[in-house]
Structure 1
Amino acid sequence: MLAELSAMMSHGFKSSRQDFTFGPWKVTAAKTHIMKSKDIERLAEEMNMPSLPEMLFGDNVLRIQHTDGYGIEFNAVDALRRVNNMEDSVKVACAQEWQESRVDSEHTKEVGKRYDWTYTTDYKGTLLGGDIQMRVVETSERINMEKLKAREQIMFFDEVLLFEDELHDHGVSMISVKIRVMPTSFFLLMRFFLRVDGVLIRINDTRLYYEAGKKYMLREFSTRESKIAELKNVAAQYTDPNEIAPHLTLKLTECEKLELPVTDHQSAANEALL
């Protein structure tokens, strides 16, 4: 089904790009067609993986960039680079059958090659800026989720799909990122969602929050996972990440500050204030 959708979307799917300015920041959400087969094969060979997701949006990106050049972006290729291509993440009866069905090109004839066929990734974004980047430090400070629940004008919103795969009809593996910009802050959620039918559900979330005037962003990464057998009494849709997420067991939480660099432009502005 995804293959058919891929063919449909590659013909006539209109690319779109939205830019939104938030003080010195520019938010860019770019969406375009699915990556071409030859480019996917070339990328798979480079990554030493037998196959890549059926729907791979290699040119889709959500970017947050400061006028001084630094920032952070979220893209599919970098997300896939964080997949463990050396071992299986989930061992199920269908794994071998699934792998063999996907190994159909000359350069990927290593049937049974071990790799994470679920495409589980712990990707948290790609820092931008070359020599001038935000500095990542651990913190105990958390994003105030209650504050985010308050009704506030949404000045900009968009969601970008990076990749999706139906795991040969054995579930779904997908990652997408969405952002909303309010008058004095922005909040971003990137979610990797994995459902292996009859086996498990896993969600890796990356949340990013910034308040205007602060010298840092807050970034939280979490992993939630439960076996299907543990969810038998849960009255939630397994296919809906938002519904099932609160019922999954929290396995990991990492909290970080992305400290903004002090550039020559900022130094001059600070001196002018003295």
Structure 2
Amino acid sequence: MHPVFQSSRRDFTFGPWKLSAARTHIMKSAQAERLADELHMPSLPEMMFGDNVLRIQHDHGFGIEFNATDALKCVNNCQGMIKVACAAEWQESSEAEHSKEVVRPYDWTYTTDYKGTLLGDTATLKVVPTTEHINTEKLKAREQIMFFEEVLLFEDELHDHGVSSLSVKVRVMPSSFFVLLRFFLRVDGVLIRMNDTRLHHEADKTYMLREYTSRESKISNLKNVPPFLFTEPNEISQYLPIKETICEKLEFPEKLEPQPETSLETTSAKPK
């Protein structure tokens, strides 16, 4: 039995920005089958929250959102090298009886390098490579959290052999907002992978900073790490080598002045 989720929607105003977090029930089977066909995938994650979304939109219409459907569009729906390597390792492990379940014509781990969906019809954020990093020390400063929300986009238990999940968190302080989108994968006895996208906007800036980091390690290389940490993404991340880092500025459309004075207001509603 899947857990029951109570539907809710919360909105928060941060200066010219509207942040909306919607959480609702798991996608119904018929909908999931149609979407799987559209995405050319044999199946979707066991818990697929197709209507869950975190949206950050400016008064001028541009912005960014995070949703499960677009995230799954980034999954390799053909047989890929990483999947085959994992399947080979699994076949050699004590779980060999399940090897037939592994070899499928798509990435059964639902690994995604999704970084968000840009919004806007006439104006959108401009993605520009940068060497500038998010100031983590500034984020550690004691500052009142005006708004916080966490939205689960999908989760799958990989036939009881691990977990694959994608979730997004947002927190708003008086001076900025910060988003963490995290894909976490644990294939028991094989590997742990974590793809994080961090987004930070300071109220007096005309851009957001976006950092994508991909970490991964084989379980065999984590022999000195306590196994109970394998289920704790925040704890295990420090033991996973970085495979890829991408730093970008999401620049606002030209001729748009920053609005440092922020209006802080939150509302919540429960859809019928």
| 8 Å Cα contact 1:186/1:209 also seen in 2 | yes
Measure, in 1, the Cα distance between the counterparts of 2:141 and 2:225.
28
| 8 Å Cα contact 1:191/1:203 also seen in 2 | yes
Opposite residue 161 of structure 2, the aligned amino acid is H
Residue 113 of structure 1 deviates from its aligned partner by 4.2
Aligned match of 1:203 in 181, 184, 194? 194
Measure, in 2, the Cα distance between the counterparts of 1:181 and 1:136.
22
Opposite residue 97 of structure 1, the aligned amino acid is K
Confirm or deny that 1:177 pairs with 2:168: yes
Measure, in 2, the Cα distance between the counterparts of 1:96 and 1:177.
32
Confirm or deny that 1:188 pairs with 2:179: yes
Runs (5+) with no aligned partner, structure 2: 260-272
Q: What residue number does 1:26 align with?
A: 18
Aligned match of 1:151 in 123, 126, 142? 142
Residue 150 of structure 1 deviates from its aligned partner by 1.2
Measure, in 1, the Cα distance between the counterparts of 2:147 and 2:101.
40
Q: What residue number does 1:14 align with?
A: 6
1:228-274 Cα offsets, whole Å, 9 max, x none, are 011010136100101101110110000000000136xx47x9xxxxx
| 8 Å Cα contact 1:98/1:167 also seen in 2 | no
Confirm or deny that 1:252 pairs with 2:252: no
1:49-105 Cα offsets, whole Å, 9 max, x none, are 111100000000001000110000000000000000012433232664335xxxxxx
Looking at both structures, which has the greater relative contact order when contacts are Cα pairs under 8 Å and sequence separation is at least 6?
2
Opposite residue 144 of structure 2, the aligned amino acid is Q
Q: What residue number does 1:103 align with?
A: none
Aligned match of 2:55 in 63, 82, 85? 63
Measure, in 2, the Cα distance between the counterparts of 1:193 and 1:186.
23
| 8 Å Cα contact 1:206/1:220 also seen in 2 | yes
Q: What residue number does 2:115 align with?
A: 124
| 8 Å Cα contact 1:31/1:61 also seen in 2 | yes
Aligned match of 1:42 in 31, 34, 39? 34
**For structure 1, which segment, 228-237 or 252-261, has the greater mean C-alpha deviation from structure 2 after superposition?**
228-237
**For structure 1, which segment, 124-133 or 234-243, has the greater mean C-alpha deviation from structure 2 after superposition?**
234-243
Measure, in 2, the Cα distance between the counterparts of 1:98 and 1:160.
29
| 8 Å Cα contact 1:211/1:217 also seen in 2 | yes
Residue 156 of structure 1 deviates from its aligned partner by 0.3
Question: Aligned-pair RMSD on alpha carbons?
Answer: 1.5
1:134-163 Cα offsets, whole Å, 9 max, x none, are 000000000011111111100000000000
- Matches of residues 220-259 of structure 1 in structure 2 within 5 Å? 220-235=211-226, 237-259=229-251
Confirm or deny that 1:166 pairs with 2:166: no
1:208-238 Cα offsets, whole Å, 9 max, x none, are 0000020100000010000001101013610
TM-score (norm 1): 0.86
Opposite residue 57 of structure 2, the aligned amino acid is Q
Runs (5+) with no aligned partner, structure 1: 100-111, 270-274
Measure, in 1, the Cα distance between the counterparts of 2:168 and 2:108.
21
Secondary structure class of the residue paired with 2:33: helix
Opposite residue 181 of structure 1, the aligned amino acid is V
Percent of aligned pairs with the same residue? 66
1:94-137 Cα offsets, whole Å, 9 max, x none, are 664335xxxxxxxxxxxx54110000000000000023100000
Measure, in 1, the Cα distance between the counterparts of 2:104 and 2:169.
34
Q: What residue number does 1:98 align with?
A: 101
Q: Number of residues paired by the alignment?
A: 246
| 8 Å Cα contact 1:56/1:76 also seen in 2 | yes
Secondary structure class of the residue paired with 1:237: helix
Measure, in 1, the Cα distance between the counterparts of 2:155 and 2:128.
31
Measure, in 2, the Cα distance between the counterparts of 1:238 and 1:178.
21
Q: What residue number does 1:133 align with?
A: 124
Measure, in 2, the Cα distance between the counterparts of 1:61 and 1:161.
9
